[in-house]
Amino acid sequence: MTAPEKQERGTKGTWTRRGVLAGLLGAPVLLVAACNDPVSSSGSAASGTTAAGVGGVPAAGATGTPSSSPRTSTARISISPADGVSTASFTRPITVTVTGGTLASVTATDGSGRAVPGTRAADGLSWTSTGPLASGTRYSVAASAVDKDGLEADAHAAFATASPANTFVGYFTPEDGATVGVGMPVTINFNKPVANRRAVEQAITVTADTGVEVVGHWFSSTRLDFRPRDYWAKGTTVTLKLRLKDVEGAKGVYGTQSKDVRFTVGRSRTSVADLSAHTLTVTTDGQVTATYPIIGGAPDHRTWGGKLVISEQFEQTKMDSTTVGLGDEYNIPDVPHAQRLTTSGTFIHGNYWSPAAAFGTANLSHGCIALRDVKGGGDATTDAAVFFAHSMVGDVVEVINSGDQTVSPTNGLSGWNLGWADWKAGSAL
């Protein structure tokens, strides 16, 4: 008769069984040699076996050759990428396959312990990750399988994905935490041309807490703007989510950004520059709050018509005609209270060099809109100083009766000059 079996922890963390035949420790050698029944598949010793353990090592005091070896699972597991790989492709999924059995479990995690989702095939022979992998990230995979006899096999792999050799980024405005005017679009300028516009636009979302629809519009392969149908409502919080990391913008060129940006829309303030009446009328939160006499573009340098948006503000700046293709017609080093309206060089700014009588009566400029000011801009009571002090990036200045064509939607932040249907037609989605 055999004594009860005793379980012992093996040196490698697995359980082994050793049959202990206490009554045979002092038995004659002849009896030991005569007892040669096989070990059962369950791992327990059959009646009449020797005192040999499953590992083939005789129990203490026993002699002779062990009767059998432990049974090994016939299941064989393969993991790709393989263990130890340091430059795995992040564009390909993790795969786990098995032969001689079926998968029982698969767990994949990144270096932060976040689970990688995946799907096991209906036949239990494979598992494939369904979530995208990240570049430059370590992953680990643990899998188990069982064969037809229920015996288990285990496998583990740890690997790292490569970082892309070619990348692109999007430079966005406005900045996180900014407070802007009601006409401020979200503008993203990419440092490399985007060929896969749909994939990139899908990776960028702009939402408003008011729930209005916000749509993207591609002006070129390097510029994508977002706006609602009408100006933002005052007090709106707008959230930009960039999820460009590992998005393929062009063949072999991948994004690197994963970032959230939030900005707030301030009071509602719009202005209308009527260049036939030579006035600038300011409306704040639905009420006319100021009217200023102005100078607009002369007949040979008319001011662009349409809705222009303030994109930059300077207490003082230099204006040189050579930078806008007008030769040496002017070079003013200290233009006060200047606010940019177009990329091509249209500003609304202070003017100290024109005669006072010209404001409100004549259009004499090279295309800019001018308000009365003093040299150095030190007088806070001038029209230009007051208008500047109450303005912010994103405020709209609409120019009417200028005699010139409507400004191009791509010139500055002038996308409001496109109707809603045309705007939506420029979306890749």
199, pLDDT greater than 70: yes
What is the DSSP annotation of 61-96? T--S--S--------EEEEESPTT-SSB-TTS--EE
Residues 6+ positions from 335 with CB-CB distance below 8 Å: 314, 316, 317, 318, 319, 347, 349, 350, 351
Over residues 391-401, mean pLDDT = 98
Q: CATH classification of 167-265 is 3.40.50.970, yes or no?
A: no
Percent of the chain predicted with pLDDT > 70 = 84
Task: Say what the pLDDT of residue 25 is.
Answer: 33
Per the DSSP assignment, residues forming a β-bridge with 308 are 397
Of the candidates 332, 302, 315, 330, the residue with the CA atom closest to the CA atom of residue 399: 302
Half-sphere exposure of residue 200, counting CA atoms within 13 Å on the CB side? 32
Over residues 85-105, mean pLDDT = 97
- Other C-beta atoms lying within 10 Å of the C-beta of residue 300: 7
Contact criterion met (CB below 8 Å) for 340 and 312: yes
What is the spatial distance between Cα 418 and Cα 415, in angstroms, rounded to a whole number?
6
- The tens digit of pLDDT for each residue in 100-139 reads 999 999 999 999 999 999 999 999 999 999 988 999 999 9
What is the spatial distance between Cα 94 and Cα 130, in angstroms, rounded to a whole number?
8
Domain extent listing, the chain: 1-71, 76-160, 167-265, 269-412
Per the DSSP assignment, residues forming a β-bridge with 205 are 241
Asked whether this chain's domains 76-160 and 167-265 adopt the same fold, the reply is: yes
Contact criterion met (CB below 8 Å) for 286 and 268: yes
75, pLDDT greater than 90: yes
Q: Catalytic site residues?
A: 349, 368
Q: Out of 3.40.1390.10, 2.60.40.3780, 3.40.50.970, 1.10.600.10, select the CATH number for domain 76-160.
A: 2.60.40.3780
Task: Say what the pLDDT of residue 70 is.
Answer: 79
Contact criterion met (CB below 8 Å) for 229 and 212: yes
Q: Which CATH class is domain 269-412?
A: mainly beta
- The tens digit of pLDDT for each residue in 252-281 reads 999 999 999 999 999 999 999 999 999 999
**Is 0.75 surpassed by the pTM of this model?**
yes
Of the candidates 383, 300, 301, the residue with the CA atom closest to the CA atom of residue 348: 383
Six-digit token pair at 138?
């370590």
- The tens digit of pLDDT for each residue in 203-241 reads 999 999 999 999 999 999 999 999 999 999 999 999 999
Query: pLDDT confidence of 67, banded at 50, 70, 90?
Result: low
